[in-house]
Amino acid sequence: MASNQQTRPGIGELAKDTASGRIGVVMDEVGARVHIRPVGGGVEWDAQPDNVVAPTARDDLNARVAIKNSNSRYGL
């Protein structure tokens, strides 16, 4: 693999859907679709594999803060 190639995030990792701009957690890959769940929970959406990339450092930090905020609401 060339050093400039990026791998798509795997199951359980944060990912960005470049088509929608949304950040979520990769839940599954079925056929030509990647299932992504919103960071704070909710309904999964499908993304094209070519549109799923690793989030930028800023996206990653924002998502992790959202997770902490969501957990704190429920005493987790």
State the pLDDT at residue 55.
Answer: 92
Specify the DSSP element, H or E, that contains 33.
strand 33-38
Q: In this structure, are residues 57 and 65 in contact, taking their beta carbons and an 8 Å threshold?
A: no
Predicted confidence pLDDT, tens digits, the chain (76 residues): 444 456 789 999 999 999 999 999 999 999 899 999 998 788 999 999 999 999 999 988 988 888 788 788 777 6
CA dihedral 73, 23, 46, 25 (to 10 degrees): -60
Closest among 23, 28, 37 to 65, alpha carbons compared: 23
State the pLDDT at residue 5.
Answer: 52
Rounded Cα gap, residues 26 and 66, in angstroms: 16
State the pLDDT at residue 40.
Answer: 76
